[in-house]
Structure 1
Amino acid sequence: MNIKSLTVLAAALLVSAAAYAAPVKTGQSALGPVLTNEKGMTLYTFDKDAPGTSTCVDACAQNWPPLMAASGAMAEGDYTVIKRADGSMQWAYKGKPLYTWMKDAKPGDTTGEGFKDIWHAAKP
């Protein structure tokens, strides 16, 4: 194999590995640092979830879209992948499933913080 072939192979491996890595970043908000999805939207946790289990389904999941994981996604550090009741996969942070909030309009919004005293912005 020549250098060019190795470079292409290495790039392909990096791209494929990135597809399965947790799509979470740290962003700034009025609350300070928060976890965000790849678009910069704040991620939240739900007090009614048990560790490693999402109880937010149906209408709840429409208002609080789960941070879905691709098939084959792998746990990485504090990030794990959990199976939802419908069989789909969702990212969790320190065992807590992660969600966005439909009323957040732009990166940095945290309008879901404290909603009904059971939703909280996920913090690093």
Structure 2
Amino acid sequence: MRTVLIAMGILAATSLSAFAAEPAKLMETKMGKVYTTDKGMTLYTFDKDTKGKSNCDAKCLSNWPAFYADAGAKAEGEWTLVKASDGKEMWAYEGKPLYMFAKDKKAGDMTGDGVGGVWHVAK
């Protein structure tokens, strides 16, 4: 009986931690804390998006790849899902769709901040 209870406790603890995981992480940078992918690639927001809607078309997505959600991903709290222009689900934080920048080559690069006056690191 004790083994069953311990196993149930472990299962509950691992299920809760998996459920509570955010799709992105905060990384400390020279610009303060910014959101990144799990591989450390900086995430950006686009001023031309509207809350809950991506306005980055196919050409835009070639330079600013969407931060796509895995199949079966579920929105939780401030993290929501929106459709990219290619129809795939992407992550949004506080209603703002999130993107990466094609010219960022390694973890921690933030070369997309301020591009065109409409791209900003996600904070």
TM interval, short-chain normalised:
0.7 to 0.9
Please report the RMSD computed on the Cα atoms of aligned residues, expressed in angstroms: 2.2
- Provide the residue aligned with 1:82 in structure 2: 82
Q: Which has the larger radius of gyration?
A: 2
Q: Which amino acid aligns with 2:69?
A: A
Q: Is the 8 A contact 1:44 1:98 kept in 2?
A: yes
In structure 1, runs of 5+ residues without a counterpart are none
- Paired residues in the alignment total 121
Q: Residue in 2 aligned with 1:115?
A: 115
Q: TM-score, normalised by structure 2?
A: 0.83
Percent identity of equivalent pairs: 50
Match of 2:98 in 1: 98
Corresponding residue number in structure 2 for 1:63? 63
Give unmatched runs, 5+ long, in structure 2.
none
Give deviations 1:23-74, integer Å, cap 9, x for gaps. 2100122212111111111100001111111111212111111110123212
The residue type paired with residue 98 of structure 1 is L
Displacement of 1:93: 0.7
Partner of 2:73 in structure 1?
73
* TM norm structure 1: 0.82
Find the residue that maps to 2:73 and give its secondary structure.
Answer: coil
Shift of 1:82: 1.0
Q: Which residue of 1 aligns with 2:19?
A: 17
2:56–2:85 CA contact under 8 A, matched in 1: no
